[in-house]
Chains A and B, each alone.
Chain A
Amino acid sequence: AQTVTQSQPEMSVQEAETVTLSCTYDTSENNYYLFWYKQPPSRQMILVIRQEAYKQQNATENRFSVNFQKAAKSFSLKISDSQLGDTAMYFCAFMKPDSGGGADGLTFGKGTHLIIQP
């Protein structure tokens, strides 16, 4: 079974600062996907960024980037030029293809509550 650990229950930074959210995971799989999801108070889960384990290059989406260290099983999210709208719960998640070649469900960490202060 896979586990995902987020060791920072809450973080608070000033607007425009850069913040890094930590995530580690444990798996014996070699082929898998990692994700960061954002959940604002509206409850709507929004995909922020994804990383395929077979890709060495770190994923980037505008102000969001990851530092993927496969050997260390670490997957941190960096948010640059943080904005008030980035305030939300952030969840790290793991997914592996199932035995039929489809996708198994996501395994989530406990989440980090990120607060961007004006």
Chain B
Amino acid sequence: QQQVKQSPQSLIVQKGGISIINCAYENTAFDYFPWYQQFPGKGPALLIAIRPDVSEKKEGRFTISFNKSAKQFSLHIMDSQPGDSATYFCAASMRGSQGNLIFGKGTKLSVKP
């Protein structure tokens, strides 16, 4: 049973466009929702994260939108750049879990120049 479902599996966006990746979760005990970015040959790196007490968090061109009632959250990348081409993972963890992240299956983003 997959606790965090991520879509789409892959995404192609033109330079300057908006990239949108969606995730849905099952467990209402989750209280921390990070997005990780992974470049080929590298480890995942934290991009941006949100807690369920806010509906949106923005850091530069990256925004998380969070819908607690729908148990969904999404990553929006504004003005997408070729350098954003990477695999993006949503994840979730719950309080007291010692940081055990449950990851989505990842979205491979390609930004075309």
Q: Do A and B come from one complex?
A: no
Interface residues, chain B, CB within 8 Å of chain A? none
Interface residues, chain A, CB within 8 Å of chain B? none
